[in-house]
Chains A and B, each alone.
Chain A
């Protein structure tokens, strides 16, 4: 079974803090994704990575950056957290295109 592990289920941070959300997968998948989910707006793609050190912007990359130094790990970074980044963050992986997408448990971030 594919296992996608997100580092924190719940986080509370203050405005201006730097926030790291980490995602680790154990299936040697090529593609990894970060989504955010908000009521009424559905799932929106922030960034994705198709290989180590390779990344592409999704629909809403502003205010975020990512890092993929190793194949199994994809990090989402909020350089200076703001209250409008309070959301549910979901990491996902996929072997290739096409292919089945698998999600982690989600990280619920609150920025005060």
Chain B
């Protein structure tokens, strides 16, 4: 199966700082999502972004499908941004199974 590598594994920021999270895929995917897992364990959808760039408030994401990576940008971070960020992709050869990265643990300090 494909490998999904997320970097960095851990990130500590001061409130107000900007950050970039990266997701690399070992093979092409035709479905890519970013999630935020909050402290209660719920996975919240951030972006469904097989290609291109999307923005939602302080967050934006860019996927370069031909180079098999995606970036998540967080600007003016807030303490509520803390949690684990996951990317996941559906390989071209797979009917159903999304492959998840191990996540980036983000801590935003006041």
Contacts and interface: CB of A to CB of B under 8 A. Distances in A.
Interface in B83-100: 86, 88, 90, 95-98, 100
A104 B44 CA distance: 9
Nearest to B1: A59
A88 B41 CA distance: 8
Interface of chain A, main secondary structure: strand
Interface stretch (A19-27, A61-69, A72-80, A93-101): A93-101
Interface residues of A, number: 25
A105 B103 contact: no
B45 interface: yes
Contacts of A104: 42
Contacts of B20: none
B40 A103 contact: no
A11 interface: no
Interface of B: 30-31, 33, 35, 40-45, 48, 50, 86, 88, 90, 95-98, 100-103
Interface of A: 31, 33, 37, 42-43, 45, 48, 50, 56, 58-59, 88, 90, 92, 97-106, 108
